[in-house]
Structure 1
Amino acid sequence: MPNSDQAVYVFATITPKREYIEDVGNALEELIEPTLEEPGCRVFSAFRNQADEGVFHLFEIFESEEAIQSHYAQQYTMDVFSQYEKWLAAPVSITKLSPNSGQSTEQFR
C-alpha cells in the first residue's frame, strides 16, 4: 500500500563518548520541550538503549521534510549539534522510516 502520509519519521542513534553520557542525556532532555512546541512536530522522544545505557535513541515525527529542516535550523538544535562534535564517539545514525500501513500511521495522528 503506498504511503500517502507526508510525515517524516526518524529513528536516530546517538553514541556519546563515555565521559559525555550525562551531558548528552541532559541535552536531549532539554531539546524535548521546545521541539514539541515547533510547528509540524508530532513526536520527539528520547530513549536509552536497554542493552547499553550509554547509547541514546530518538524517535521523531514531523509533518513534513520542511518541518524537520526547520527543527535542524533552530538555535537550540544547532547548539546541541555543535556539542556533538566533542561529545560523540561516532556520528549520529539517522534512519528515515515510512509506515508499513495506514494502521501504523493512524497510531501517531
Structure 2
Amino acid sequence: MSDPLTLFARISPKPEHRAAARDAVLDILAVTRSEPGCRRFTLHDDRDGGGDLYLYEVWDDEAALAAHHAKPYTRAVFDRYRTWLSEPVEITRLRAIG
C-alpha cells in the first residue's frame, strides 16, 4: 500500500468574508469525512488571532482527492473562494519522514 496523500492548506479570506469562508468549510466537514478515501479532514484557525484558516487533509491517494474536488459541495466552496479570498489557497503536500 502506498503512503497516504497528506495536505496542509492555508486559506486566506478577506476580513469581511472570514466567517462565511469558515462556515462554508464547516458545512462540508461531515460529508467530506464520509467520502471514500478520506482519512482526515480537519479545519483549524489561527490561535494568535490572524484571519487565516487551515485545513489538514489525509487521503488514500490522488484519485480520492480528485473525487473530492469534483463533488458539487466542494465546487460550490471553491466558486465562492473567488470573491472571498485575499489570495489563492496555498497547498503544501507533506510526506511523513519519521
TM-score range, shorter chain: over 0.9
Give 2:79's aligned amino acid. S
Partner AA of 2:73 in structure 1:
Y
Correspondent of 1:7 among 4, 12, 20: 4
Looking at CA atoms only, which structure, 1 or 2, has the larger radius of gyration?
A: 1
- Aligned residues with identical type, % of pairs: 34
In the TM superposition, residue 31 of structure 1 has moved relative to its aligned partner by 1.4
Residues matched between the structures, number: 98
Residue 104 (structure 1) aligns with: none
Q: Structure 1 residues 10, 50: CA separation in 2 closer, same or farther (over 3 Å shift)?
A: same
Unaligned 5+ runs, structure 2: none
Q: 2:61 aligns with which of 58, 61, 64?
A: 64
Structure 1 partner of 2:20: 23
> Which secondary structure does the structure 2 equivalent of 1:35 belong to?
helix
Taking the aligned partners of 1:38 and 1:62, their CA distance within structure 2 comes to 10
Per-residue CA deviation, residues 20-67 of structure 1 (Å, 9 max, x unaligned), is 010011011011101001000000000001123411000000000100
What TM-score, normalized by structure 1, do the two folds share? 0.86
